[in-house]
Amino acid sequence: MGSLKSEEELEQIEEEASKEAILYVNGSRKVLPDGLAHATLLEYLRGIGLTGTKLGCGEGGCGACTVMVSHYNKSLKKCGHYAINACLAPLYSVEGMHVITVEGLGNRVHGLHPVQESLARAHGSQCGFCTPGFIMSMYALLRSSQSPPSEEQIDECLSGNLCRCTGYRPILDAFRVFAKTDDSLYGPQPSSSSVEESNFVCPSTGKPCSCRSGSLVDSDTTRESICFGQKYEAISYSEVDGKLFTDKELIFPPELLLRKISYLSLSGFSGLKWYRPLRLKQVLELKSRYPDAKLIVGNTEVGIEMRLKKMHYRVLISTMHVPELNVLNVNDDGVEIGAAVRLSDLLTAFRKVVTERAYHETSTCKAFIEQLKWFAGTQIKNVASVGGNVCTASPISDLNPLWMASRAKFRVIDNKGNLRIVSAENFFLGYRKVDLASGEILLSVFLPWSRRLEYVKEFKQAHRRDDDIAIVNAGMRVFLEKKDDDLVVADASIVYGGVAPLSIAARQTKEYLIGRTWNQELLQGALKVLRSDIIIKEDAPGGMVEFRRSLTLSFFFKFFLWVSHEMDAMRSIKQEIPLSQLSAIRPFQRPSVIGCQDYEIVKRGTAVGSPEVHLSARLQVTGEAEYADDTPLPPNGLNAALVLSRKPHARIISVDASGAKSSPGFAGIFLANDVPAKNKIGPVIYDEELFASEFVSCVGQVIGVVVADTQENAKLAVRKVHVEYEELPAILSIEDAIKAKSFHPNTEKFLGKGDVDLCFQSGECYKVIQGEVQVGGQEHFYLEPQSTVIWTVDGGNEVHMVSSTQAPQKHQKYVSEVLGLPMSKVVCRTKRLGGGFGGKETRSAFLAAAASVPSYLLNRPVKITLDRDIDMMTTGQRHSFLGKYKVGFTKEGKVLALDLEIYNNAGNSLDLSPAILERAMFHSDNVYEIPNIRINGRVCFTNFPSNTAFRGFGGPQGMLIAENWIQRIAVELKKSPEEIREMNFQGEGSLLHYGQQLQHCTLDQLWNALKGSCNFLNARKEADQFNLQNRWKKRGVAMVPTKFGISFTTKFLNQAGALVNVYTDGTVLVTHGGVEMGQGLHTKVAQVAASSFNIPLTSVFISDTSTDKVPNASPTAASASSDMYGAAVLDACEQIKARMEPIASRKNFSSFAELVGACYVERIDLSAHGFHIVPEIGFDWNTGKGNPFRYFTYGAAYAEVEIDTLTGDFHTRAADVFLDLGYSINPAIDVGQIEGAFVQGLGWVALEELKWGDAAHKWIPPGCLYTCGPGSYKIPSVNDVPLKFSVSLLKGHPNVKAIHSSKAVGEPPFFLASSVFFAIKDAIVAARADAGFTDWFPLDNPATPERIRMACLDEFTAPFVGSDFRPKLSV
């Protein structure tokens, strides 16, 4: 083909281009104006009021922005439906398509869609922020499936969605009813009632059960269930005409069926041009005209470069609709894949090919299928293209090593139509650099079939299996030939990613392999050559150098075993491989998650004790629930962005804002000298500045705030503010702080009991051991970023705000002091939070204060919503800790004395760090009787953003240190840790090291119930047996107890207020000081009110939390809110009931509404303010004695894990959790809290690693946070849920010290996830024993793949590390 005759021809095409860009949204036609090429689909949707689609991260990593796109393919004459991330999709990329958002499925008024209904009923929505994304991922799967999907497909479709609240189990249960199942209840057969009970298979567990019988007794339920099935059947087909859809389904718009797709030439902000060519020659001509233009399909890489890396591209060319780039041809010698083919289509094609071609031909295809499965979330795979991934040339691309290894050929074309073919192995030239000249583009990839005796295999190890970038990956191929009785290597290719600036072939290893016989000798020789062939430098970006080096060997070893195992005919080779060795290549068969919840229902009145669904669930599943960022800005509103420090410690020399002032849409910049009143802030001690005036003490400290007409303009203006610094020495770890004696003033704490020194010297102790425990931090990763909308009333006489905060009173106080207004003129309202976990207790208030300054001075509304990376960088995390212990014990294992020094990393201000240290000290005994104990605690000042509250508030850190020395005692005495734990248990009447006596202690009952439930002795035996038979996979088991003190340890915070209004129609409005953040507080409080008045739960409504309704409220924290606010509401209800009593006693009223009407006529006050103070608490730090807690919540958990010792990958095979929650107010919500806390805790102990620029990570700029988004910071995903997940509540133990005999639940279960950590350690012990190492060893949390693998010493780690190696951790 030739080039276009001239640019005039292209200009003519542009003139003929469609003048009208059209998009359908939820069946409604939208005309897209020119000038929006910079905008994402998410920005557009939220801009037109469809706020159900959420902004969680802006980088396609959390799934909160998931929508479904329908597109008619004219050549295939069929409609495709697929889920995408709206935060990455350019608005014009969906032109001519139908976008369906969560609002298009169902709503409160017209009824819910079955997918929404199922999730709401199954308790699958807590904070609700992630919920619309899950709904849309599932809905897109159903719309695109011709038949019910499998459970595996459902799990896979959710791989790109994150949830921080639920622990995923209820979400999986809710969606599993749509899977293939034998259960006729979910299908539309009318004969369902005739099926025998014994044949019924539960859709949740896949096992026979009797849960149907309840449904069949009640005819309404049965009818509803069958109807549910019929609705589902109707939505599972994607026929374009919509005939098979119910009236609720949105059909594909007929206009888009008939409309011809057209060439687009549109523009955007800052001169950005957007082209959508329809022919290859148009693409080439555009590339000729704009050599630096970026070709895009899904924008999954370019979008992140433009948003996060601040790269500026002038021209974007969308190749999505170019037929020549979308070919997917299967022919006799291989597969031709167009560069614009989407990865999900490639995966589908490969899966089809594998079923149709000869087994030996598809070795390569199978490798790609496996690699694509873990490549990214479904939403990314649905839009990301083959060519985009190839040409990005990322050093950690999962696919490029496979293209290189599998002899793929890349077809390249220039703008004159000249074709050339480049082998994949020679295509990658350097870091993100490929063999493409400026006018060239990648046309297609040719992948040849594999030959007989040719084997291709993929490898990848990441921090998390689902949706994660590789640490190291590889593609390996070997082609063997028969020579006599041997198989000799005729050709080979060993290619790695993640070990160099580009995907790199091990050329020396290849040369070594060719011509050699495939046997053990070849393996040993190749491993030796590999060590010098692939060299990773000590200071390599990404760190983990020793781990990455070991993976290069582990992968090759696995490849050798796999190839040997594949040679079925070669018995002689098979005999060389012992069965125990085969565990290295046996894939983990992941069954569906099975959940089991066991609790009793103790009803009190109409609602208390009932497992009610979260009150906002139906609003959350429809996207109608509103969050702070959903609050619309008035027309004169401004958006704010923060000017942040880029240095960990420095003097500010100057701030030059001249560039910002000339930026588009700029409305003002405000610095320290612009603050109307006080610039000093702080939740307890005023040791922070709102805007840094002279010094900055961390990266991310706020220097000022810029406001502009749009959020993008505000961020652009911030980038133009130039700050000049004089750098000063920085303290970047606890160890640095200890050496420099850098402690916050007046924070040293001491607790003690008995005489520790005397005990150590007396000879009572069989042994005294010493050690150090490093405890890693954790990011809150609430799905909803920090957000506030603030505006003035009456010309600035009052200030009102809507904030995402756990402490509205703190926002009120900060704003009042910064502006110099009385608190009575400042109102903060909070409807709900999209998760908090402590991260919105104090660290949200400075944002409201920062936004209040421009709002007040300009008298205009201001909104500030932090981008995920800024949120993570500025708002603090869970404290990292360092514990130095010395412990003495008897020969049997009884602990006699503990001497503990404990340090926490506070960061650059105090915040709540002293209180967090105190709780860690209170919990440093966990559940163990220690006669002599001495604990000294210090709060370290470091040059990091101030760390803050996080679920557990220091308690888990203290308990983890305790469990570490318990485990070490077990090793010293050659006993099981469980035995040591049990013999040291505290019991009824135990006197704790701070003077409080245990009452109503249920620890023994819980422990014994758990031991019976998990059959621990048998589980131990089975794990040992498995470990004997498997060299490279190991299983571990552990049981861990906990006790968690309930109360704020600061006494005055233990107070709560509530306002209850009864209306004449018999409905009740409750307002209280607590904040709903997904934990079900409002639901429990409503149940208390409903039971008190003996009315249905539907008659009670909880209004938003507001400082003008209930003043001086404590933060919603410390797990105590249900206790406190439930009691305050009950107090108000009892007051109203007492007033109503004289009227009620006159006659029998037919309804509560009638009684209320009568009271109203009698002028009875039907409004009351309730109040509650927690009794019998108080602690004196001067004496070190008192009762800091009202009571304790006890729990115990068992976990079983399986680890891959060669890679560090692990699965939690089972988790069994027992808690004593008294008589639960709402057992369903409590189970949800337990599961959510456990999975969040699993993240802390095994997945989530914060990496800061410190001495341990010199490749990160000093003081900077590297893990500042879902791309680099990995919270648990659907794939990390325990495969058997049981939760049981102890029966028959009411709690006499809290409302309705219940107990607090939010924080206590979090630490129980350490059972997974110690099970991992148990598995590592077995692996080390095989290598001859039986000594105790330290394992820091999180037990990431790096830490697991490097602790499993073997011949593949030996060349790189010694037995005392300890991977680096930011502490």
Task: Tell me the catalytic residues.
Answer: 1307
DSSP 8-state class, residue 795: G
Phi, psi of 277 (to 5 degrees): -75, 160
Q: Are 778 and 837 in contact (CB under 8 A)?
A: no
Cα separation, 141 vs 144, in Å, equals 5
Cα separation, 483 vs 1237, in Å, equals 60
- Cis check: omega of the bond before 448, within 30 degrees of 0: no
DSSP 8-state class, residue 996: P
Burial grade of 516 (CB within 10 A; 0-12, 13-18, 19 or more): middle
Burial grade of 497 (CB within 10 A; 0-12, 13-18, 19 or more): buried
DSSP 8-state class, residue 1103: P
Within a 10 A sphere around the Cβ of 146, how many other Cβ atoms? 9
Strands 294-296 vs 315-318: parallel, antiparallel or unpaired: parallel
* Helix ranges, 1210-1259 (H): 1227-1246
Sign of torsion over alpha carbons 1355, 1358, 1363, 1364: negative
Q: Are 504 and 431 in contact (CB under 8 A)?
A: no
Q: Tell me which residue has tokens 């621990």.
A: 1016
| 753: β partners | 933
Cα separation, 1357 vs 1347, in Å, equals 12
**HSE-up (13 A, CA, CB side) for residue 1184:** 15
Cα separation, 513 vs 492, in Å, equals 7
Cα separation, 983 vs 451, in Å, equals 63
Cα separation, 165 vs 171, in Å, equals 11
Phi, psi of 606 (to 5 degrees): -80, -25
Within a 10 A sphere around the Cβ of 187, how many other Cβ atoms? 15
| Burial letters 639-667, b for 16+ CB under 10 A, else e | bbbbbbbebbbbebeebebeebeebebbb
Q: Tell me which residue has tokens 């719309």.
A: 143
Q: Are 643 and 721 in contact (CB under 8 A)?
A: yes
Cα separation, 505 vs 382, in Å, equals 29
Cα separation, 376 vs 468, in Å, equals 6
**Angle between helix 169-176 and helix 131-144 axes, rounded to 10 deg:** 30
Q: Which amino acid is it at 831?
A: K
Contacts of 757 (CB under 8 A, 6+ apart): none
Cα separation, 467 vs 475, in Å, equals 19
The torsion angle over the Cα atoms of residues 496, 500, 504 and 509, rounded to 10 degrees, is: -70
Cα separation, 867 vs 59, in Å, equals 10
Proportion of the chain in helix, strand, coil states, percent, rounded to 5:
35, 25, 40
**Angle between helix 219-235 and helix 114-121 axes, rounded to 10 deg:** 130
Burial grade of 719 (CB within 10 A; 0-12, 13-18, 19 or more): middle
Whole-angstrom Cα Rg for the chain:
32
Q: From residue 55, give the alpha-carbon distance in Å to each of 37, 44, 785, 851.
A: 19, 12, 8, 20
